[in-house]
Amino acid sequence: MIARAAAVPIEVVGVGAAGLGTLPRDVRRLLDEAEVVVGGDRHLAMLDPHPDVRLVPWPSPLLPGLRDLLGEVAGRRVVVLASGDPHVSGIGTTLVRELGSEAVRVHPAVSSVALARARMGWSAEECEVVTLVGRDTDRLRRDLSPRARLVVLTSGPDAPARIADVLVDEGYAGSRLTVLGDLGSQAESRTEGVAASWDGRPAPRLHLVCVECSDGPASRAPSLVPGLPETAYENDGQLTKRVVRAAALAHLAPRPGDVMWDLGAGAGSVGIEFARQHPRNEVHAVERDPERAERVRRNARSLGVPGLQVVESSSSDAIAALPRPDAVFVGGGGSAELLEACWAALAPGGRLVVHGVTVETELLLHDARRRLGGSMSRIAVEELGEIGSLHGWKPARSIVQWSVEKSVLQEDSEFDA
């Protein structure tokens, strides 16, 4: 975080598409008294040049250049111009993260999301906001469901076409798209169509896309409930079975914003389903085999969590560089040293789940349970299969599952008793 004098906060002013004339009087005064005004070319073009005011366009790349810029203008009266509500996928969020909330004051205009809901006649309760600004379009796959209404924040003239492609690929070809451009200005536009026949015309520079998902038998976007079918994953056999995976996720207990390690990721199924529980969840999947690691990336993209981080390394080598976890899953067995490192890294209140299939790993887990507590289960799954012209049960290899939660009163604790 960049240090900045709290006595001279940065004023972040949201500007509607209609321009500076819509700013309240007190906010306009902040702009008139500014020594430095930072913004995009479109916003800076709204201002008349003045010898006492420095107009600064956004640096590129943004974050490194922004840090240098903020250091240069520290102590001066700075106004940042942004579109609509600067806290809706905007620069306001970035500045608060960099400087702290006390060093930034945000003056929002009516957000594009609020204007879009007004134009569509949608209430806030019956639709979801999905941001693809600075994100992979595959992120949308997580939020698709029959009859869903989505307000999608986008960037780039081809964004509606990319969204239409994802909808068709997921079986929502009949979904209606409404592209709303330049909301709140005299140039406001509205373009409607169906995903399957979207013509690919470029969208206005300022736009968002409202999606009304179709309700048909072809819709195949998977549920958010843990335990997706094995067919949802590309795999080479290294895949945690559906029932066992659901049990692991029940103990991992994902919460919004949790950081999770998936060690020995295989196909990545446990980490992917953890990430799917909430958009703010952060998952680091560690897989030493490069081919499997790339498979994890493909699975993550196809299931709507392209932001999942894949680390190509052994688990023991990787974990020292990972952020502190709220949940850890060890899917490929482990050593006493690895479990000790995971337990030491785990945040208070964090959950550790380990699966084992060998007698040696089971003995290790019994010893760990004796030292740290927790619960242990043996999970045996049998699936119906054909025996000639008849049917019978085919057992899979049993899994021993140890799960334990670190006390919220424990900052660190010794693995050894």
The Cα–Cα gap between 21 and 273 comes to 47
Q: What is the pLDDT of residue 417?
A: 46
**Interval 308-328 mean pLDDT:** 96
**Exposure of 140 in the CB half-sphere (CA atoms within 13 A):** 29
Q: What is the pLDDT of residue 2?
A: 55
**Interval 29-56 mean pLDDT:** 90
Q: What is the pLDDT of residue 5?
A: 47
Please state, rounded to an integer, the average pLDDT across all residues of the chain: 91
Is the pLDDT at 185 greater than 90? The verdict is no
Q: What is the pLDDT of residue 414?
A: 56
- β-bridge pairing 309-311 and 282-286: parallel
Is the pLDDT at 318 greater than 90? The verdict is yes
Under a CB-based contact definition with an 8 Å cutoff, are residues 12 and 110 in contact? no
What's the predicted TM-score (pTM) here? 0.86
Tens of pLDDT along 121-161? Answer: 999 999 999 999 889 999 999 999 999 999 999 989 999 99
- CATH fold, domain 10-110, is Cobalt-precorrin-4 Transmethylase; domain 1 (3.40.1010)
Is the pLDDT at 277 greater than 60? The verdict is yes
Q: What is the pLDDT of residue 131?
A: 94
> What CATH number does domain 230-405 carry, 3.40.50.300, 3.40.50.150, 3.30.43.10, 3.40.50.1000?
3.40.50.150
Amino acid letter, residue 384: L
In the three-class reduction of DSSP (H, G, I as helix; E, B as strand; rest coil), residue 70 is classed as helix
Lowest mean pLDDT of 145-159, 219-233, 254-268, name the range: 219-233
Is the pLDDT at 374 greater than 80? The verdict is yes
Q: What is the pLDDT of residue 257?
A: 96
Is the pLDDT at 413 greater than 70? The verdict is no
Residue of 264 and 237 predicted with greater confidence: 264
Tens of pLDDT along 54-107? Answer: 999 988 888 888 888 888 888 889 999 998 899 887 899 889 988 888 989 999
Residue of 382 and 411 predicted with greater confidence: 382
Please check whether the domain covering 113-212 is classified as CATH 3.30.950.10: yes
Q: What is the pLDDT of residue 410?
A: 65
Tens of pLDDT along 230-245? Answer: 999 999 988 888 999 9
Is the pLDDT at 415 greater than 70? The verdict is no
Q: How many CB atoms lie within 10 A of CB 246?
A: 16
Q: What is the pLDDT of residue 16?
A: 85
Is the pLDDT at 6 greater than 80? The verdict is no
Residue 245's alpha-carbon distances to 262, 269, 304, 361, in angstroms, are 12, 8, 18, 18
Do the domains 230-405 and 113-212 match in fold?
Answer: no
The Cα–Cα gap between 286 and 366 comes to 25
- Domain ranges, ordered by start, for the chain: 10-110, 113-212, 230-405
